[in-house]
Structure 1
Amino acid sequence: MTEPEFLQHPFRRRDGIASGLTARQVNGSRFRLVTKDVHLAVEAKLDLPMRCAAFQLAIDSPLVFSHFTAAELYDVPIARDPKVHISLCSQIEPRMRGLVAHRVLHLGDVWTLGDLPVTSPGRTFVDLASKLDLLSLVIAGDVLSSRSSLSEIERALRTGSGRRGIRLAREARTLLNPASKSAMETRLRLILVIGGVPSLAVNRPAVGRDGRTFATPDLGEHVVLVGLEYEGEHHQSDPRQWERDIKRDAAYRDNGWHLIKVTKRDIFERPDWIVNEVATALRARGLR
């Protein structure tokens, strides 16, 4: 590793000295100590992948990044743990500040993200089942199944029989939809499922009278033409998005759709209103 690389990647003290740095330089103000015997240039961004790389250097055993750390590396929108989670088979549990080690009998399916070994999406889903509630697990599962497949999730459930949280994981599996594109879409879908509303298509393109796609409703009933769109804050704060929404809403009307727009407040404070609006619209259009 040449000196410029020390400005970009974590390195062990002995490797830095072997590559030409002096002990005083390694211990000086130019580099920071990330974890046991692992340093990083102070100007380098110490983000999660960099922290993971540092722990990987510091731990002299095969490991895989797992649980909340794997979820964050997969961009799962759930509450994050500032500590780095690893799974390893070693009988000696590493004790380092900012690290949570989970001992396992085998590392299982391992994916690679960048240069980091990470538990597979299915394994990550099962690992999280002992840490999350049902809603958060479904939100995580929607993302993880979109990163792999529902069959990958199901395979992990079979191999995870008997593990803590496996019953919750199996329940959550029945609610997963990899077509969901955000946590709020997942929340909206579950409100309707719990409210007994017939299943709606997730992010299926809406085709107009001219045979062309004019919109992609977050949730939609494409036979009787009822659609739902979640309106995040940027739909009101971004003028361009506001203009696009006006044109989109007009396209729904012109093509005979009944559009229901839902906000964050509706989801968190008025879920019953959402269920009633959708159920009423479906009944009015002949769907019982």
Structure 2
Amino acid sequence: MPSSQFFSHATAAVLWGAPLPYRYSVAPAEGRADIHVSALRPDSRPRLDGVIGHTLSPKRTRVVELNGLRVTDPASTWATLSTLLRLDDLVAAGDFFVTGEEPLGRAPALTTLDELRAAQARYGRTPGATRLREALPLVRFGPLSPQETVVRLRLLDAGLPEPQLNWDVRNEWGELVAMIDLAYPDQLVGIEYEGDGHRQRERFRADIHRRERLEDLGWTIVRLTADDASIDRDPRRVREMTNRVARRLRERGWTPA
């Protein structure tokens, strides 16, 4: 690849580790995905089999090196994703870029909300600009999976208050009991997304012990699976999920505004 070209869009997002819909990481029919490669104007866009070529403005785009590869920086990558992703997916990618694994004390965030705002301003008159404007106010620090992002967005769509993200619950001695995916601390209502990994024997047993300790502290937990936390699921299933959360909140004193 010429030094004037670099990875961008979905390919850069995959290299940064961002969560993307399956179709942008591996094309099921071919066993691979086309690679997004860009050049800065006035250079021509790349033209190769298996490559989706783009030209980007040097005034808008930041290019950095990642493990020896030239890629758009996290904020520019997020901005270019606006031409590919649906709103929920774009918000989930933004959540990843500004969160990393910091809530777990691991990998730090790759960028900040301020840097996403600056990128959104730079890309303000490009294809995808409207989606960027819609997504930016919804991006939050805290989610550790795209499913957590989707659940949060569905709760907001249903008119429920915004939950706290990855909320630490401690006992009377200040010891950490659990970190709840989404929480309403005033009502002691928590929401937990449980992927297939929770079915493993040791994890299953630990989850039961954890849930009992939370109940001892007065918490009630709404447990969700992939059927509840998917963008593409039946809207009736989504309504069931949000109604369940609303019912728990009302039982514990929450009243709609």
The answer to whether the superposition gives a TM-score over 0.5 is: yes
Q: Structure 1: which 5+ runs fail to align?
A: 1-55
* TM-score, scaled to structure 2: 0.84
Aligned partners of 2:36 and 2:54 also within 8 Å: yes
Which residue in the other structure is 1:46 paired with?
Answer: none
Q: Which amino acid counterpart does residue 46 of structure 2 have in structure 1?
A: P
Q: Is the 8 A contact 1:122 1:145 kept in 2?
A: no
The C-alpha deviation readout for 1:199-254, integer Å capped at 9, x for no partner, is: 11000211223322200110001122111110111212x00100110111101111
Aligned residues with identical type, % of pairs: 33
Judge conservation of contact 1:145–1:152 (CA < 8 Å) in 2: no
Q: 1:97 to 1:221 in 2, by over 3 A?
A: same
1:151 alignment partner in structure 2? 114
| 3-state SS, counterpart of residue 264 of structure 1 | coil
1:77 counterpart residue number: 19
Residues 69-116 of structure 1 deviation map (CA, whole Å, 9 limit, x = unaligned): 011111222131511212212534432222122112317222321111
User: 1:285 aligns to what?
Assistant: 252
Which residue does 1:241 correspond to in 2? Answer: 203
Is this contact kept in 2: 1:121–1:145, CA < 8 A?
A: no
Q: Alignment length, in residue pairs?
A: 229
Name the residue aligned to 1:114: 67
Q: Residues 258-281 of structure 1, C-alpha deviation per residue, up to 9 Å, x if partnerless?
A: 111111122334111111111111
Residues 1:175 and 1:105: Cα distance change in structure 2 (over 3 Å) = closer
2:192 and 2:16 mapped to 1: Cα distance?
Answer: 25
Q: How does 1:108-257 map to 2 (within 5 A)?
A: 108-146=61-99, 147-236=110-199, 238-257=200-219
- CA displacement, residues 156-198 of structure 1 (integer Å, 9 cap, x when unaligned): 0111111111111111111112311111111111110111110
Q: Show the counterpart of 1:87.
A: 38
The structure with the larger Rg is 1
SS of residue matched to 1:88: strand
Cα distance in 2 for partners of 1:186, 1:94 equals 34
Looking at structure 2, the residues matched to 250 and 191 of structure 1 have their Cα atoms a distance apart, in angstroms, of 27
Which amino acid in structure 2 is aligned with residue 245 of structure 1? Answer: D
Matched, 1:273 2:240: yes
Letter in structure 1 aligned against 2:186: V
Q: Partners of 2:89 and 2:228 in 1: how far apart? A: 18
Q: Is the 8 A contact 1:111 1:117 kept in 2?
A: yes
**Pairwise CA RMSD of aligned residues?**
1.6
Q: Within 2, Cα distance between the matches of 1:92 and 1:176? A: 33
1:209–1:255 contact (8 Å) kept in structure 2: no
Return closer, same or farther for 1:199/1:105 CA change in 2, 3 Å cut-off.
Answer: closer
Say whether residues 1:259 and 2:212 are aligned partners.
no
Partner of 2:107: none
- Cα 1:93–1:257 change in 2 (3 A) is closer
Q: Cα–Cα, structure 1 residues 211 and 173, in superposed 2: closer, same or farther, change >3 Å?
A: same
